[in-house]
Amino acid sequence: MTTAFVYDPFERNHSFPGHPECRERMQSTWELLETDGILDSLTRLPNAPAHLDPILAVHNSAYVEQLQEICRGIQEPAGGSSRLQSWDQSALWLDPDTYVLYDSWEASLRAVGGLLQLTDAVMTGAAGNGFAMVRPPGHHARPRNAKGFCLFGNIAVAARHVQRKHGAERLLIVDFDVHHGNGTEEMFYDDPSVLFISIHQYPHYPFSGSIDEVGQGPGERFNVNVPFPAGVGDAGYLAALRQLVHPLAREFRPDAIFLSAGFDGHWMDPLSAHRLSVGGYAALVKDLLALAESLCGGRLICTLEGGYDLNALPHCILSSLRVLSRSPAGISDPFGAVEGNPRAADKVISAVKRRQGIR
């Protein structure tokens, strides 16, 4: 089994100084991956901007057209190599958190395109599993607007693409980003063919994702939120996977598993307070990989969401890639773990079990 990997340096053109969702996230990560040498063991995939058809399968056409017009209306930066080095670009803000530059349109198309390339590789058997190291992230983007650093719903686009191109009947999306995946939830809220499970800090941005958000109509019970209080730590998240995700997934029998891999629950991250560690995240990826192997031939398709500490994020991604590729090198965690409060997680897990009818 090989692990596919996609990264497109064009993402550097989408970055705003001082913003947590910036190109330095990938710069520090890329440097560590190159130094480590793990890239030589991965199936590197080429990338190109996505066509609009798969994006329009989950996003409103008026929004997509408006986003393109907004980006193209911004002053284009100087060409050549300086384009990647200079902050001298104009920016517009779509909401208080979400900026766009001239190159944000193409960067977003390439983020989707990279994930689709990886998805196709896994679904056709060219790779066993994969990780798309793309930005801007996607799980907050709504059908009709951008939100929370996200322009397109990358993982939602990929999931619908798998159904349309590869004939998948049932897909599981697990989102362990510390922020609720409100955009992904909204895109599949009435759809019983996609089981969406979000494990997140609550109350916390985007201030959605309660236990009672369970889907509607035919999609009822196919939307599952695990709203943890702050500080649950590694043990709390792993318990949620084993006590909630496992039984729901085994009942659902997905054709593939998607992972919105946000690493912003790390104890060093400035945007959360969930006290996870690099080793804790690696354990979650290992657990999901084993679940995928037992249910759907190992088809685990991961895409990057959050993670804003420039020291912790690279090691979270490196360790995840080591797990996916079965590297003997083990976990890369120079920071260690801090004590969490898994008892706080137990109450939420019990409540979700009752809500979902899990025994």
Residue 67: per-residue pLDDT:
98
In a domain, 201, yes or no: yes
Is residue 140 annotated as part of the catalytic site, yes or no?
yes
227 located within any domain: yes
Q: Given 14, 59, 139, 140, which residue is catalytic?
A: 140
Q: What is the pLDDT of residue 87?
A: 46
Domain of residue 75 covers 3-79+99-356
Tell me, yes or no, whether 89 lies in a domain.
no
Looking at residue 1, what is its pLDDT?
74
Q: Do 310 and 270 meet the contact criterion of CB atoms below 8 Å apart? A: no
Question: CB count, 10 Å around CB of 185?
Answer: 24
pLDDT for res 229: 97
pTM of the model: 0.97
- Residue 88: inside a domain, yes or no? no
Under 8 Å between Cβ of 60 and 187: no
Number of domains in the chain: 1
Per-residue pLDDT of the chain (359 residues; tens, 9 = 90+): 799 999 999 999 999 999 999 999 999 999 999 999 999 999 999 999 999 999 999 999 999 999 999 999 998 876 544 444 444 467 999 999 999 999 999 999 999 999 999 999 999 999 999 999 999 999 999 999 999 999 999 999 999 999 999 999 999 999 999 999 999 999 999 999 999 999 999 999 999 999 999 999 999 999 999 999 999 999 999 999 999 999 999 999 999 999 999 999 999 999 999 999 999 999 999 999 999 999 999 999 999 999 999 999 999 999 999 999 999 999 999 999 999 999 999 999 999 999 999 98
Q: Tell me, yes or no, whether 91 lies in a domain.
A: no
Q: Report d(CA 328, CA 7) in Å as an integer.
A: 23
pLDDT of residue 318: 98
Residue 87 lies in a domain: no
Q: What is the 3-state secondary structure (H, E, C) of the chain?
A: CCEEEECCHHHHHCCCCCCCCCCHHHHHHHHHHHHHCHHHHCEECCCCCCCHHHHHCCCCHHHHHHHHHHHHCCCCCCCCCHHHHCCCCCCEEEECCEEECCCHHHHHHHHHHHHHHHHHHHHCCCCCEEEECCCCCCCCCECCECECCECCCHHHHHHHHHHHHHCCCCEEEEECCCCCCHHHHHHCCCCCCEEEEEEEECCCCCCCCCCCCCCCHHHCCCEEEEEECCCCHHHHHHHHHHHHHHHHHHHHCCCEEEEEECCCCECCCCCCCCCECHHHHHHHHHHHHHHHHHHCCCCEEEEECCCCCCCHHHHHHHHHHHHHCCCCCCCCCCCCCCCCCHHHHHHHHHHHHHHHCCC
Residue 157 lies in a domain: yes
Query: What CATH number did the domain enclosing 296 receive?
Result: 3.40.800.20
Residues in the chain: 359
Residue type, 119: T
Q: What is the pLDDT of residue 79?
A: 59
Query: Has residue 200 been placed in a domain?
Result: yes
Position 75 scores a pLDDT of: 85
pLDDT for the residue 90: 78
